Structure 1
Amino acid sequence: MVGNSVVCLSAKAPKEMGSNSAEKFYRIPEGKGPHSVGCTDLMTENAAEGSFLRLYYPSCNATDNEEAPWIPDKEYYQGLSDFLNMYRVVGERLFQYYVGSVTCPAKPNADFKPGEKYPLLVFSHGLGAFRTIYSAICIEMASQGFIVAAVEHRDESASATYYCKKKSVSETEEESTPNMEKEWIYYRKLKSGEEERCLRHKQVQQRAQECIKALNLILKINSGEEVMNVLNSDFDWNKLKDSVDTSRIAVMGHSFGGATVIESLSKEIRFRCGIALDAWMLPVGDDTYKNSVQQPLLFINSEKFQWADNILKMKKLSSNDSNKKMITIKGSVHQSFPDFTFVSGEIIGKFFKLKGEIDPNEAIDISNHASLAFLQKHLSLTKDFDKWDSLVDGIGPNVISGTNIDLSPSQALLSVCVSRKSWLCGWLKAALIFRAELSSCHKEELLSE
């Protein structure tokens, strides 16, 4: 009886406090740098082979308080529900109830801030994620003077994504009917008996190509070439002309996105360095380990996610190279990097490993500061990010050099690969099941709202 009461209270608390979601209680942190931040979406071509990304950028100070929606379409709720093996009708309602009004602190389509050349950072999301849920990291980088292109991958590793295709309409309908519609692509589950490494390696190849394609797209805009955005947007892309410092380009990603960073570095020398956040190494191909990643690379790991075999693969890639670093954030978990860590309460967050023992804001600050210091060194930036150089060496509160994982031969043999759902939101599956198992009266009330 006590347990059921706690569940009902936690589920109803936001509504009883006058909110339809957690938005009033928990917020994605604002950027701490000197620049205001804007964001806009860019999609090219009416086919899955085009590019799709969210651009975060230094912006002129906006006069209104509008912020971008965090999860922009209900189909993303459906995709997350599929990914987590939830009924869509239940999952969609729960996501809408819990995070439906959450926004990210970036101004949609705000005017781009001209006057200087900005380094470019391409960001790759994790398995089951999509372009918007690492906004805390991307916004911080943009506030510090980076243009950030957060790619939404179409390799069927995102919970959901889409492209715009032309509708087939008759001539009489053509004038009154929009001629574009969204074609949704949802997460592809492993088939029975399918070997995961083969699928993930194929996907990471496509992901790397999508990162390179995003790089080419931004550089094309930078050179003044006209690019057709198939999405309706008020953003003036012409203002990006000559705004990118083409000699200062890096790639960054989390989990499956960390593997994508490594593959992208191996394929594209214009990426001068990379940052892999809690990388999942299974998708990385054998050829990549054969001295094909020459650029500097920073591994930033959580304390609770990694295992011996995964760490040994990182070390195999970075052995005897002083420009390849590894640090671990003490008290952190795999979900200390995506935004979900900021929009959940303390009890649910810790119970489902969405939050670690360390404060989420401190964890993301350590990660961001180490990243900025690393980028300053290897992109030759003239900033003051070198004040955080010690973090890159694993020196400071709540950070260690290398790993906390026991790498002894016996432990390496015993290490077991983490379940494929755990690196994005295994915690979320449990959380949604937890919420779905409310009393029948509460479920009826929630679904009838």
Structure 2
Amino acid sequence: MGNCSGHDFSIPPGKGPHHVGCTDLMVGHTVEGTFFRLYYPCQLSERSENPDWVPTKEYFNGLADFMKINRRLSERIFNYLFGSCKIPATWNAAFKPNTKHPVVIFSHGLGAFRTLYSAICVELASQGFIVASVEHRDESASNIPTTHANLPEFPLRNKQVKQRADECIRALDILFTVNSGNMVENVLKTPFDWSTLENSMDLCRIAVMGHSFGGATVIECLCKEVRFKCGIALDTWMFPLDEVIFPQVKQPIFFINSEKFQWAGNIFRMKKLDSATIPRKMITIRGAVHQSFPDFTFLTGNCLGKIFKLQGNVDPHLAMDLSNRASLAFLQRHLSLERDFNQWDQLIDGKDNHLIPGTNITLLQSAL
């Protein structure tokens, strides 16, 4: 695990029993292809390499837009802050073939990219999940320029969320292909042996998870694909979704929100997914901000974190632990896992001093 520019800021390693490896897979170069970072339980190796958190320098301009910083200054600033940051996983490590693993497909937020949520993905992999963190090709990722300044926002975002869901489903299709023992052509030519993943995934136990725009993607995915058995939506931005799909979502959903980001209209749309028969849960992390979920929250000090709203009034590690543990408990419950994640069941109901059951936002009863 690397430090960042000499500072003691780093992405936390997984807390589970498994060592974690990661690799990239790209199938095709067009919007019809698939691109994701795979995190998985791996074998311990004497020689290990931790990959850079920012895959290439081209992402710095996208990060500048994401954080609303002038692009001209961004490369020097981001190279200083993040240039030496590493992901706490072994690059192209050998897969650990000991059992079948449940699967999570992860969708990033607007302006983000496939490695930005590595703290979440590494934790899930350390707990025995195989996680595919999709890099979206809908022009919402950091390395893709946008050219939609004059288009109405809802049609654009609704089109994007549909494409994002399709990309998540294509990533899942690729994992089905790999699990069946069939070869896929990885245009990145990484040395990882994909054949070792044959029959390694429990494809009856699949969840979809995402943050912000990725949270909206979770709901779109659940509508489109019944192979997803449940969804976890982190501080979801509901705007891109057409409410006509809400009655079509039949799987359990867990909304994990920050205290500082949400507003009445957004929560009201989440509440439209409430069901008397399908589990729909919501909790709010006290003192958390919208960027308490991506890795940024660990990679800046308190001052910069507050200036750029990357940290809230809660310790970043505590906020992440609460979110991850609540997620694991929810996944055990709705994927029927035989693990010990039910020790955190109380978090699903917001029973912790640092959690709020439901939301901190006041909604008028007449609006519900």
TM-score band by shorter chain is over 0.9
**Residues 151-190 of structure 1 correspond to what in structure 2 (within 5 A)?**
151-160=134-143, 186-190=144-148
1:401 Cα deviation after fit: 1.0
Q: Per the alignment, in what secondary structure is the counterpart of residue 56 of structure 1? A: strand
Q: Counterpart in 1 of 2:225?
A: 268
The match for 1:76 is 59
Say whether residues 1:345 and 2:306 are aligned partners: no
1:66 aligns with 2:23: no
Answer whether contact 1:23 1:343 (CA < 8 A) is retained: no
TM-score (norm 2): 0.96
The answer for the alignment partner of 1:230 in structure 2 is 187
Whether the 8 Å CA contact 1:56–1:147 is kept in 2: the answer is yes
Offset of 1:396 from its aligned partner? 1.3
Question: How far apart, in 2, do the equivalents of 1:65 and 1:392 lie?
Answer: 36
CA 1:286–1:381 in 2, change beyond 3 Å: closer, same or farther? same
User: Retained in 1: the 8 A contact 2:231–2:251?
Assistant: yes
* Structure 2 spans left out of the alignment, 5+ residues: none
Q: Which runs of 5+ in 1 are unaligned?
A: 1-18, 161-185, 414-449
Q: Is the 8 A contact 2:67 2:308 kept in 1?
A: no
* CA apart distance, 1:66: 2.2
Name the aligned partner's letter for residue 343 of structure 1.
Answer: L
Partner of 1:112: 95
Once the two structures are TM-superposed, the CA of residue 78 in structure 1 deviates from its matched residue by: 2.2
What is the Cα deviation at residue 21 of structure 1?
4.3
- Residues 277, 83 of structure 1: alpha-carbon distance in 2 compared, 3 angstrom cutoff: closer
- Aligned letter for 1:39? C
1:283 aligned partner, one-letter code? P
Contact 1:20 1:97 in 2 (8 A): no
Identity of paired residues, percent?
59
| 1:384 matches 2:340 | yes
| Structure having the larger proportion of residues in helix | 1
- Per-residue CA deviations over 1:243-297 (Å, capped at 9, x if unaligned) read 00010000000000000000000000000000000000000112212x1110000
Match of 2:257 in 1: 301
- 2:239 matched to 1:244? no
8 Å CA contact 2:108, 2:134 repeated in 1: yes
Structure-1 separation of matches of 2:34 and 2:356: 38
2:162 counterpart residue number: 205
**Partners of 2:4 and 2:10 within 8 A in 1:** no
Matched to 1:43, the amino acid is M
Corresponding residue number in structure 2 for 1:42: 25
Contact 2:250 2:278 in 1 (8 A): no
1:248 is paired with a residue whose SS is: strand
Partner of 2:116: 133
Q: Quote the Cα distance in structure 2 between the aligned partners of 1:87 and 1:253.
A: 27
How far does the alpha carbon of each residue in 1:23-66 deviate from its partner, in whole angstroms, 9 at most, with x for none? 54101000000000000000012433210000000000121352
Note if contact 2:284-2:357 (Cα within 8 Å) is conserved in structure 1.
yes
Q: Is the 1:278–1:306 contact (alpha carbons within 8 Å) kept by the matching residues of 2?
A: yes
Q: Which amino acid aligns with 1:103?
A: K
Contact 1:22 1:344 in 2 (8 A): no
Q: CA deviation at 1:20?
A: 9.7
Match of 1:52 among 24, 35, 38: 35
**What is the CA deviation profile of residues 386-425 of structure 1, one whole-angstrom value per residue up to 9, with x for unaligned ones?**
0000000111120121000011269x79xxxxxxxxxxxx
Distance in 2 of aligned mates of 1:55 and 1:20: 23
Aligned counterpart for 2:267 among listed residues 307, 311, 317: 311
**Does 2:204 align with 1:221?**
no
Aligned partners of 1:268, 1:48: CA distance in 2, in Å? Answer: 19
Q: Which letter maps to 1:405? A: I
Aligned residue identity for 1:224:
G
Alignment correspondent of 1:13: none
Q: State the TM-score, normalizing by the size of structure 1.
A: 0.79
Give the residue type in structure 1 aligned to 2:167. E
Q: Decide which structure has the larger Cα Rg and report it.
A: 1
Kept after mapping to 1: 8 A contact 2:286/2:314 = yes
Number of residues of Structure 1 aligned to a counterpart in Structure 2: 367
Name the CA distance, whole Å, in 1 between partners of 2:294 and 2:359: 21
Matched, 1:366 2:349: no
Whether contact under 8 Å (2:48, 2:93) holds in the other structure is no
Q: Does residue 1:332 correspond to 2:315, yes or no?
A: no
Task: Write the mapping of 1:411-426 to structure 2, written as runs, cut at 5 A.
Answer: none
In the other structure, the counterpart of 1:143 is: 126
Letter in 2 for 1:188: T
